[in-house]
Amino acid sequence: MASERTVAVVPAAGRGERMGGATNKAFLPLGDRPLLAHALGVLETCPLVDEIVVAVGEGEEDACRREVLEPFELRKVTGVIRGGASRQESVRLALRYVGTGAGLVVIHDGARPLLPHELLVRTIEAGRRSGAAVVGLPVKDTVKRVGADGHVAETLDRRRLWQIQTPQVFWRDLIQMAHARAAERGVIATDDAALVELLRHPVLVLEGLEENIKVTTPFDLLTARAILASREKARA
């Protein structure tokens, strides 16, 4: 039955400007495969995920199939779509592609290649129960709001601050409604949970893992390589 299905939506259409190059970072090599193949691989091997829809940049659809899906046998990917100008737009387009063909949606950044399997499972189970579950980490540094004049405007209470990652898991109808409402009202957010919060549905936060990094800068790529190397060493 369609409503029993769990579909993963993977936004991977960023331009990678903070990486300093012109190519989409999703195609950059990490170990023996492109970054995106790692992120999709975790979803592919998870028995709780039935299908995957990935959003890539305009004109990158064929390269995605040729360089990522075919060589690494990512057979659960049923849709490669063109993303939008923002992450939110890429997710909205992917959700439109999903239509009513799922009961649960797992949103996971294509730029997070090192998501541990057990964290994915834990988040899916929590999302299925509660309708909205995300992973995050308590912040380690002190966070201040800094004014346009370069001076501190406010020091925030660190004990209540978390950095939010993906995966983010939602009931399919809830997340589609949240994106539709945001589009109507012109609300822009940097994650999907923020749009669900606007509907006043509670969002459960699970403690994630530091290794689930988002690769944004060249430094992050170095970190990702080190994490991967230490995993391979542990396995040897």
CB of 109 to ligand C5P, least distance (A): 4
* C-beta closer to ligand C5P: residue 90 or 212: 90
* C-beta closer to ligand C5P: residue 23 or 190: 190
Q: Is the dihedral of CA 1, 90, 14, 170 positive or negative?
A: negative
Q: Are the C-beta atoms of 198 and 178 separated by less than 8 Å? A: yes
CB of 110 to ligand C5P, least distance (A): 4
Using CB atoms within 10 Å of the CB of residue 100, give its burial: 0 to 12 exposed, 13 to 18 middle, 19+ buried: exposed
CB of 96 to ligand C5P, least distance (A): 14
* C-beta closer to ligand C5P: residue 27 or 171: 27
* C-beta closer to ligand C5P: residue 130 or 163: 163
* C-beta closer to ligand C5P: residue 63 or 130: 63
Q: Is the dihedral of CA 230, 30, 11, 125 positive or negative?
A: negative
CA distances from 1 to 4, 124, 170, 178, 208 (A): 6, 18, 18, 24, 31
CB of 235 to ligand C5P, least distance (A): 26
| Distance, CA of 114 to CA of 112 (rounded, Å) | 6
CB of 159 to ligand C5P, least distance (A): 26
CB of 40 to ligand C5P, least distance (A): 11
28 φ, ψ to 5°?
Answer: -70, 145
Contact residues toward ligand C5P (CB under 6 A) are 11-14, 26, 55, 83-87, 90, 109-111, 190, 214, 216
Joined tokens for residue 74: 């990512």
* C-beta closer to ligand C5P: residue 85 or 153: 85
Can you tell me whether residue 125 is helix, strand or coil?
Answer: helix
Residue-wise DSSP of 24-75:
-GGGSEETTEEHHHHHHHHHHT-TT--EEEEEE-TT-HHHIIIIIITTTT-T
* C-beta closer to ligand C5P: residue 12 or 119: 12
CA distances from 13 to 127, 138, 167, 196, 213 (A): 25, 28, 17, 22, 18
CB of 57 to ligand C5P, least distance (A): 8
